[in-house]
Chains A and B, each alone.
Chain A
Amino acid sequence: MLSDLLFRLRALFRGSSMEAKLDSELRFHFEHEVAKYIGSGLSPEEARRRARLAFGSFDQVHEDCREAGGVNLLETIFQDIRYALRILRRTSVITAVAIFSLALGIGANTAIFTLIDAVLLRSLPLRDPQQLVQLRIHNRVAGEHDTVFTNPLWEQVRGRQDIFSGAVAWSDSQFDLAKGGAVQNVNGVFASGDYFNVLGVQPVLGRSLTPADDQRGCPGVAMLSYGFWQEHFGGDPSVIGGTLSLDKHNFEIIGVARPGAFMAPALASPRSPGFSAVSHYFLQP
């Protein structure tokens, strides 16, 4: 099948040289016929006449050979395409409308697919995102699902669960960066100590949160998102060990998460793009 196609293509593109070769092949045959008739005692003119009669039309043989050699199928297709293009050009308004509506249709589909792909199909930039499970509380009275856990309830879940390899808790929130004067809110997350470890998000600088940072009574620490680090500190590596003021409390900056790292669902579409910080923020009991 493939060799057949190759043969046809070769025959098509070498069309003129194939024709010339076929011509010389047929002429060779013709001259042998003439010689044969001359050898049997005919005059050269008579011999040529006889040979021509026996041979039939050269053009017809050419055509039949092209047919047999498979040129015609491809040639016919090219002719059809050329014809179609010519007709399309002649009815240019209809063509333009058709192309325009096709373009609109394809464009709209592409746009919708891009959205679906980003929202539904592409997996989260985490280690083993397919293994993640979200725990919710079902409120039988209100018939609602709630994702809000109180801290004591979370501590029970964290300490007692043996089904999963790890458990994390977060809460998205807004923090005021300003030390005084006008309020300067940024989006951020309260995160449990195992948050980065369990989700497999590596720091590019400093260290991640550890369970030791998440004990009752320990000082709160802050981890910056890559975007926040670039935006507010110009990517300066000396921020590690410095302090960040959140809601007028000072937190030690311990690390910077890698670019594109997933922080929390709310931060996948930040309300104020470019301002996102992750913070471990523990209130004294």
Chain B
Amino acid sequence: MPPEKLDLPQGTLDLLILKTLALEPQHGWAISERVQQVSKDVLQIQQGSLYPALHRLERRGWIKARWGTSENNRRAKYYELTRAGSKQLEREESAWRKLAAAVAQVLKTA
């Protein structure tokens, strides 16, 4: 039985993209694949929201794009984290941890 797929809560997509790009520069398809793999198919990024998110992050200056050659020799657009992007990642990561812990705490006691 395939694992249950969850919709991403508002605002977590940016965090997932930034975290994925922190490892190495990736093109869009690889980002969505990696998130899916790492989350054991629980998280799936819809293409319809991935690319707008990438453009938004690029506009904010948190990631930058350059054209490169993919593993099967195709021209692909690679995104990488900027310095501002890694600072933003730190902020969002700690905010997320706090939020998740707080929600878990409430669920446990209430």
User: Do they bind each other?
Assistant: yes
A interface residues (Cβ-Cβ under 8 A, vs B)? 3-4, 7-8, 21-22, 24-26, 28-29, 32-33, 54-57, 60-61, 64-65, 67-70
Q: Which of B29, B74, B77 has the most chain A CB within a 10 Å cutoff?
A: B29
Kindly state whether residue B12 has any CB partner on chain A within 8 Å: no
Given contacts A22-B51, A61-B52, A64-B51, contact A28 B59 (CB under 8 A): no
Tell me if B29 and A28 are in contact (CB < 8 A): yes
CB–CB B47/A70 < 8 A: no
Q: Which bucket holds chain B's interface residue count?
A: 20 to 34
Contact A25 B51 (CB under 8 A): yes
Do residues B51 and A65 form an inter-chain contact, with CB atoms below 8 A?
yes
A-B contact count (CB 8 A): 66
Complex Cα distance, B50 from A56, in Å, reads 12
Q: How far is the CA of A4 from the CA of B55 in the complex (A)?
A: 12
In the assembled complex, the Cα of A32 lies from the Cα of B58 at a distance in Å of: 23
**Across-interface contacts of A57 in B (CB, < 8 A):** 48
Interchain Cβ contacts under 8 Å between A and B, 18 examples? A21-B77, A25-B51, A28-B27, A28-B28, A28-B70, A29-B27, A32-B29, A33-B47, A55-B47, A60-B48, A61-B52, A64-B49, A65-B51, A67-B52, A68-B55, A68-B56, A69-B55, A70-B59
Q: Decide yes or no: A28 and B47 within 8 Å by CB, A4-B59, A68-B52, A69-B55 being known contacts.
A: no
Shortest CB-to-CB span from B65 to chain A, Å, is 9
Minimum Cβ distance to chain A for residue B13 (Å)? 12
Residue contact B70 to A55, C-beta cutoff 8 Å? no
Query: B58: shortest Cβ distance to chain A, in Å?
Result: 7
Interface secondary structure of A, over-half rule:
helix
Give Cα distance in the complex from A56 to B48, angstroms: 7
- Docked-complex contact B52 and A29, CB < 8 angstroms: no
Contacts of B27 in A (CB 8 A): 25, 28-29
Q: Is the CB of A61 within 8 A of B51?
A: yes
Complex CA distance for A54 and B44, rounded to whole angstroms: 11
Contacts of A69 in B (CB 8 A): 55-56, 58-59
Further 14 A-B residue pairs, CB within 8 A, beyond A25-B76, A61-B47? A7-B58, A21-B77, A25-B27, A28-B76, A29-B29, A56-B47, A56-B48, A60-B48, A61-B51, A64-B52, A68-B52, A68-B53, A68-B55, A69-B59
CA distance A4 to B29 in the complex (A): 26
A67: which B residues are within 8 A, CB to CB? 52
B49, B51, B70: the one within 8 Å of A26 (CB): B51
> Is the Cβ of A25 less than 8 Å from the Cβ of B47?
no
In Å, the complex CA distance between A21 and B65 comes to 12
Measured CB to CB, the closest approach of chain B to A25, in angstroms, equals: 5
